[in-house]
Amino acid sequence: MSETRLFLRHTLATLAYRGGKPLRDAPASFATFKASPTTRTPLEILAHVGDLMAWALSMARGAQQWNDAAPRPWDEECTRFFATLTAFDEYLASDRPLECSEESLYQGPIADALTHIGQIALLRRIAGTPMRGENYAQAQIEIGRVGPGQAPAVREFD
């Protein structure tokens, strides 16, 4: 496996770790919180992240396809987030060829998903239900750990 492909898998594990944090223990009202009339809700953003990971997998397979899925209930979108990450990671872990460049996967859907996970974290704070900050450089992020079962935080702060 190429170093770049391993880096992509590490990035997906990072996305799962950082994404899981604002999703866990979010109050029911958070899914539909609107910071302003023109912003997306956390639910809409999370659905978009699922679409991005599905698109990334389609790119990797060589059948690039975009689908704007209608947002499902919050719990279903949280499950979908981890399921689409897992499917994409499993493809990257396989010996199947990538039908697009690794760089395109990173600069397109992966980087966009990282941005949107940051938006969800910010919206948790704006909505008055922040999660604790963390030194993510010390986080126990492991390639292949892309599901909801993430390692506990090593060093959190307020």
Instruction: Report if residue 82 sits inside a domain.
Output: yes
Query: Is the residue at 32 inside a domain?
Result: no
Query: Does residue 33 lie in a domain region?
Result: no
Q: Is residue 11 part of a domain?
A: yes
**What distance in Å separates the CA atoms of residue 22 and residue 45, rounded to the nearest whole number?**
12
Asked if residue 73 belongs to a domain, the reply is yes
Q: What is the mean pLDDT of each run of 10 residues along the chain (158 residues)?
A: 96 98 95 97 98 98 95 98 98 97 98 98 96 94 97 90
Query: Using one digit for the tens of pLDDT, what is the confidence trace for 136-148?
Result: 999 999 999 999 9
pLDDT digits (tens, 9 = 90+) for 77-105: 999 999 999 999 999 999 999 999 999 99
pLDDT the model gives residue 9: 98
The pLDDT of residue 109: 98
**Tokens 């948790």 correspond to what residue?**
124
Does any domain span residue 31? Answer: no
pTM of the predicted protein model: 0.96
How many domains does the chain fold into?
1
Identify residue 35 by its one-letter amino acid code: A
Which two structure tokens, joined as six digits, stand for 82?
Answer: 């981890």
The whole domain housing 45 covers 3-26+40-157
